[in-house]
Structure 1
Amino acid sequence: MTKHLDEAYRILAANDRGGYTVPTDRLYPFQWNWDSAFVAMGFSTYDVDRAYRELERLIEGQWADGMIPHIIFHQPSDTYFPGPDVWRTSHTIPTSGITQPPVFGMALRAVHEAAEKAGTDGATARTLALLRAALKWHRWWYTARDPEGTGLVALLHPWESGSDNSPAWDLALAQVPTTTDTPVVRKDTGHVDASMRPRDEDYRRFIHLVDAYASCGWDPVKQWEKAPFKVAEVQTTAILLKTGEDLEYLARTLELESEAEELAGYNARTRNALLGQWRSSLSRFVSRDLISGQDIDAPTQAGFLPLLGLDLDPNMSTAAAAEMKLWSEGMKVPFPTTKPSISVWEPKRYWRGPAWAVINWLLIDGLIRNGQPDMAQSLRASTIGAIESEGFAEYFDPTTGEGCGGLGFSWTAAAYLWMAR
């Protein structure tokens, strides 16, 4: 294990660009939001100062309304599309115009606790500054992406889920036109085999959405009104709930009682809303297309992520774990991000079947929380085994264990460090 730990440290050092970490060289040459949160948790296992710095560099891109964008373009690069010229946002630092799952609050608690354990000087002040930024972002989610106060937050672009071209979006995305005002000049397929990446048609729809929201001046109210894609999504909502719990804990620790009570209110509302998305006939949770009003019952990993933020009754948690076990049968590396053997399952294509170390990380935490330690340990062992066998790949083919996508990947290194503690 020692040599793999050393390799994880080396990858994070190689991908450091001056206080922030790129996911991997060339394919993703900027700072990505949820990637950096996972990376900060990895750093917290051995370098608390650098963990704080990762989060501090991320909030340099925070908007005045509280949103933390999904990409911060700290330095120019011509190896990625779409770049700042396509996003057309107007901020001191160029950024994208959409967000990503709010792992930030989970990372902040992990970094703060590591700092407390190490007796790090100045940790409380750094945590407090980051907590204030996290609170602004949290409020943004509940105003910009749940204006009706349902407790479920919506995504206006598939990229906001982090699971960019998941089968979960197929029906909703099919209603988005393929016409764009922007020439689609893909760079990703020059770095990674096209068979592992989203299809050209997907990209045209992705960029149509970017054009549509840019034409709204990135105003959240106008975007909500005009969005051709609007999904109340259980994976992102579950992460928001877990982050809300961790921010509430930090607020109480730092004696911010009014903020803690505000967070407790958000958490209670979201907890109830998520429970309402459980479907016993499927043994998992479902998202909802807010445009059609229909459940999104495509079988993906998102259906199990609510375990991360909920304390389910034993019957529900046992049913969810049993369903996860069914999906994992015959897999060399669980957990597949799409149910195996269905027509849209592609074990090597980005988010349409592969296993991801960071998704397993979240699922492991959810399974432990809900009294399923055996399934959690099985996932942990298979994830560590895949990395030690195949290296720090972006993701893994669950049927063969092959490392796919980008290589030397930061969040896979961070996941290894976290699981190997």
Structure 2
Amino acid sequence: MTNPRISPALDEQARAILTGNDRGGYTVPTDGLYPYQWNWDSAFAAWGFATFDLDRAWTELDTLFSAQWADGMVPHIIFHKPDPGYFPGPDVWGTGQSPETSGISQPPVAATMARLIFEMDAEAGRDRLAALYPRMLAWHRWWRDQRCGSGVVAITHPWESGRDNCPDWDIGMANVDGSNVGEYTRRDTGHVDASMRPGKADYDRYIAMVQFGRDCGWDQSEIVANGPFLMADPGITFILLRAHDDLAALGRALGHDVSEVEGWAADLRAAVPSIWNAETRGFDARDLKTGRFSGRIGSAAFLAYLANVESPELDARMTELWDAVRYGFPSADPASEEFDPRRYWRGPSWPVVNALMAIGLTDRGRHAAAERLRRETAELIEAHGFFEYFDPIDGTPCGGDAFTWTAAIWLTWAGAAGDAKGGA
């Protein structure tokens, strides 16, 4: 059922951002700062388009999966058109793909978004879903085969997590040598305040990881076994677990045998306790090279609700982190010394993560918490517009403006009164 919109004017602005960032079958996250197609941004864009153009929504996902690698991976960036203003571009990645892409993946939210879109109009979307389903299945198999060797999901680069510089990765990053990457010129700090972006030492290490992948021809086995970085990621673990469940539901709707996907989900769920850190009282990233926990807790831990994982201890920790700020959920623990309310994933509130958390909370019957999260996110957007992320203490808008996935989240969730599933 369609919910009354909070602000028709903001609805119009959000639709204008989606269409303005459309580059012909795919959207860029925002003009200038991110000039290509990003994986999980694109999946959220599809959900946003579905509120007013279902055909365009399916096309967004089709274009994303058109760059799928032969092994099933869907890369995190697709370089559809040259843009010398972005670093690191396709020449740095050197993947040899056509179209050119990066060499890592990103959080697999596509099946979850596809299910939300399909449920808006199952009859109209059946043929589009039927064509997309085998591609999503192959991607999920890639995650299972290439990233779940420890049981939960591992990442080989912080960018793969989608939460590039969050404190979770600090212990793994400390062992990456970025001293020999050579000279390069970053472009991101020319578009937004450098204090809101990862620092140079982090960026040197990011580039060192890219160079390792390029030098071994993006051999996934080599990267996992001998690459400079390998950490268990609670965020992708919970996103993939939910996505397995959603993919299975889509497969059943299409009449497929989904026992394989159900098996993947069962195995992943059984491994979740391995990332529970009793000391931090939460789900925690783990350096798989040393076995050490990061000792940090952030928003990724609470995506557990999205995956139908919860506990009283997790509830208590959520309350502690959330009540320490004013607007939305912080990406890092406000009580930690690493907390920085405006630096990318080291503290800010991200509307897109708030939406995922709220979907999970709603599914768990936690309607008051889901509504609080929606209301606080809506207040940020109403006051400041469609920015990439926000200071969770005072609401200062941060990062890129006219941001695709923030506009999408407004249309599907934040601007829909009281419905965490969306209100198109």
- Output one character per residue of 1:117-149: Cα deviation in whole Å (capped at 9) or x when no partner: xx42xx322101111100111111111112x3x
After the TM superposition, list the runs of 4 or more consecutive aligned residues in structure 1 that deviate by more than 4 angstroms.
none
Query: How far 1:402 sits from its partner (Å)?
Result: 1.2
Q: Counterpart amino acid of 2:91?
A: D
Could you say if the C-alpha distance between residues 85 and 105 of structure 1 is closer, same or farther in structure 2, counting changes exceeding 3 Å?
same
- Output one character per residue of 1:4-26: Cα deviation in whole Å (capped at 9) or x when no partner: 11110010011000010100000
1:282 aligned residue: 280
Match of 1:418 among 404, 412, 422: 412
Residues 18-417 of structure 1 aligned to structure 2 (within 5 Å): 18-116=24-122, 119-120=123-124, 123-146=125-148, 148=149, 150-257=150-257, 260-312=258-310, 316=311, 318-417=312-411
- Output one character per residue of 1:302-340: Cα deviation in whole Å (capped at 9) or x when no partner: 12112211243xxx1x43233222212252212011111
Which SS does the other structure have where 1:192 is aligned?
Answer: coil
Query: How far 1:369 sits from its partner (Å)?
Result: 2.5
Query: How far 1:222 sits from its partner (Å)?
Result: 1.5
In 2: Cα distance, 1:172 partner to 1:413 partner: 33
* Count of aligned pairs between the two proteins: 409
Query: Is 1:182–1:211's contact at 8 Å kept on the other side of the alignment?
Result: no
Q: Counterpart amino acid of 1:141?
A: W
Which SS does the other structure have where 1:352 is aligned?
Answer: coil
Could you say if the C-alpha distance between residues 221 and 45 of structure 1 is closer, same or farther in structure 2, counting changes exceeding 3 Å?
same
Query: Is 2:21–2:404's contact at 8 Å kept on the other side of the alignment?
Result: yes
In 2: Cα distance, 1:140 partner to 1:305 partner: 21
Query: Is 1:180–1:207's contact at 8 Å kept on the other side of the alignment?
Result: no
Which SS does the other structure have where 1:72 is aligned?
Answer: strand
Could you say if the C-alpha distance between residues 248 and 182 of structure 1 is closer, same or farther in structure 2, counting changes exceeding 3 Å?
farther
Query: Is 1:45–1:418's contact at 8 Å kept on the other side of the alignment?
Result: yes
In 1: Cα distance, 2:363 partner to 2:284 partner: 20
Which SS does the other structure have where 1:326 is aligned?
Answer: helix
In 1: Cα distance, 2:391 partner to 2:289 partner: 33
Q: Counterpart amino acid of 2:348?
A: P
Q: Counterpart amino acid of 2:142?
A: W
Could you say if the C-alpha distance between residues 275 and 367 of structure 1 is closer, same or farther in structure 2, counting changes exceeding 3 Å?
farther
Query: Is 2:29–2:403's contact at 8 Å kept on the other side of the alignment?
Result: yes
In 1: Cα distance, 2:31 partner to 2:372 partner: 31
Query: How far 1:275 sits from its partner (Å)?
Result: 3.5
- What residue ranges of structure 1 are gaps of 5+ in the alignment? none
Which SS does the other structure have where 1:407 is aligned?
Answer: coil
Query: How far 1:413 sits from its partner (Å)?
Result: 0.4
Q: Counterpart amino acid of 1:285?
A: F
In 2: Cα distance, 1:21 partner to 1:180 partner: 35
Could you say if the C-alpha distance between residues 281 and 342 of structure 1 is closer, same or farther in structure 2, counting changes exceeding 3 Å?
closer
Query: Is 1:106–1:243's contact at 8 Å kept on the other side of the alignment?
Result: yes
In 1: Cα distance, 2:182 partner to 2:55 partner: 41
Query: Is 1:44–1:110's contact at 8 Å kept on the other side of the alignment?
Result: no
In 2: Cα distance, 1:340 partner to 1:178 partner: 28
Q: Counterpart amino acid of 1:163?
A: R
In 2: Cα distance, 1:226 partner to 1:347 partner: 34
Q: CA-atom RMSD, angstroms?
A: 1.3
In 2: Cα distance, 1:372 partner to 1:282 partner: 23
In 2: Cα distance, 1:377 partner to 1:305 partner: 16
In 1: Cα distance, 2:136 partner to 2:188 partner: 31
Query: How far 1:249 sits from its partner (Å)?
Result: 0.5
Which SS does the other structure have where 2:66 is aligned?
Answer: helix
In 2: Cα distance, 1:171 partner to 1:102 partner: 24
In 2: Cα distance, 1:281 partner to 1:228 partner: 27
Query: How far 1:278 sits from its partner (Å)?
Result: 2.8
In 2: Cα distance, 1:292 partner to 1:418 partner: 41
- Output one character per residue of 1:95-124: Cα deviation in whole Å (capped at 9) or x when no partner: 0000000001111111222232xx42xx32
Which SS does the other structure have where 2:286 is aligned?
Answer: strand
Identity of counterpart residues, as a percentage?
A: 45
In 1: Cα distance, 2:279 partner to 2:177 partner: 33
- What residue ranges of structure 2 are gaps of 5+ in the alignment? 1-6, 417-422
Query: Is 1:233–1:288's contact at 8 Å kept on the other side of the alignment?
Result: yes
Could you say if the C-alpha distance between residues 136 and 397 of structure 1 is closer, same or farther in structure 2, counting changes exceeding 3 Å?
same
Query: Is 2:25–2:56's contact at 8 Å kept on the other side of the alignment?
Result: yes
- Output one character per residue of 1:316-365: Cα deviation in whole Å (capped at 9) or x when no partner: 1x432332222122522120111113211100001000000001011111
In 2: Cα distance, 1:360 partner to 1:189 partner: 25
Query: How far 1:181 sits from its partner (Å)?
Result: 4.0
